[in-house]
Homo-oligomer: A and B are copies of this chain.
Amino acid sequence: MARLSFREQVLRVREDAIVSSVNRLLAEKGFDSMTVDEVAADVGIAKASLYKHFASKEALAAAAMVRVLQRALQAIEAQSAIAEASAFERLRAVTRWTLQVQLAGEMPSLPSQNSTLRATLIADKTYVDLVMEVSERLGEWIVQAQQDGALTSRLPPEVILYTLFARACDPVLGFLKAGGQHSDEKIVEWVLSTCLDGLAARP
């Protein structure tokens, strides 16, 4: 039992290393440009060994998505733990976290059109459950922040939720980072401001 547990631990560490590589490569190159050979080389094992752990390239991407969603849920729970924070402040903090993850090159980017990938994702109960969980948690905050008068009530919560989700793949961060003129902190605050405050002047 102790031996088995140890073996399982080794397995988990190995698979965690694989998912880390996949996560970074997906952020760097995107799903289509990432090759399984690269992943194997990056992890330092043979390609065939990869396929003993994950059934397909799509399954690799799904595992990376599951992990980033788990991290997102942790960020959400960290905000829930701050008793004095308002719903709006919590949403802002989680959105900032999302931008930071993307800017750090740790946000996997998947093509929304690829049907094979979509099929693998929606067949993955862990992934679907996590997406639902994150959506519900954020959805509650959105409704609350609207009631507080902190978020606009002129937009349906659904639109606000999607807009926040979309910050995870906002290309503006990459544009500004590529310019090399500004610090990561500045870039994050600017994009956060475009999202929450908008571009039009405020009185």
Question: A residues bordering B, Cβ < 8 Å?
Answer: 28-30, 32-33, 88, 111-114, 149-156, 158-160, 162-166, 169-172, 174-176, 179, 190-191, 193-203
Contact = CB atoms under 8 A, between A and B. Distances in A.
B153 A201 contact: yes
A83 B194 CA distance: 29
B195 A198 contact: yes
B163 A194 contact: yes
A163 B200 CA distance: 12
Kindly name the residue among A153, A158, A162, A203 whose own CB sees the greatest number of chain B CB atoms within 10 A. A162
A106 to B, nearest CB: 15
Nearest to A190: B159
A190 to B, nearest CB: 5
A28 B114 CA distance: 10
Contacts of A151: 199-201
Kindly name the residue among A30, A155, A194, A197 whose own CB sees the greatest number of chain B CB atoms within 10 A. A194
Contacts of A159: 172, 176, 190-191, 194
Contacts of A113: 28-30, 33
A171 B195 CA distance: 14
A175 B166 CA distance: 10
Kindly name the residue among A33, A163, A164, A171 whose own CB sees the greatest number of chain B CB atoms within 10 A. A163
A179 B161 CA distance: 13
Nearest to A31: B32
A197 B166 CA distance: 17
A153 to B, nearest CB: 7
A24 to B, nearest CB: 13
Contacts of A152: 193, 197-202
A189 to B, nearest CB: 10
A176 B162 CA distance: 8
Contacts of A169: 171
Contacts of A200: 88, 150-152, 196-198
